[in-house]
Amino acid sequence: MKSKLVVKFLLALAFGSLFGQFIHMDHEKWLRLGREAFLTHQANQFDHDMIASAAGIMVFCAIFALGLFALYEGIAFAVVRLVSRGLPPKTAAPGIPS
Residues 59-75: pLDDT tens digits?
899 999 999 999 999 99
Q: How many residues does the chain have?
A: 98
| Number of domains within the chain | 1
Q: Shortest CA distance to 11 belongs to which of 64, 80, 85, 65?
A: 80
Residue 51 lies in a domain: yes
pTM (predicted TM-score): 0.53
Question: Cβ distance 11 to 76 under 8 Å?
Answer: yes
Whether 98 shows a pLDDT value over 60: the answer reads no
Which amino acid is present at 97?
P
Residue 74 lies inside a defined structural domain of this protein: yes
CA dist., res. 88 & res. 59, Å (int): 45
Residue 83 and residue 6 in contact, taking contact as beta carbons nearer than 8 Å: no
pLDDT at 22 over 80: yes
Q: Domain span at residue 53?
A: 2-85
Is residue 28 a part of any domain in this protein?
Answer: yes
Does some domain include residue 69?
yes
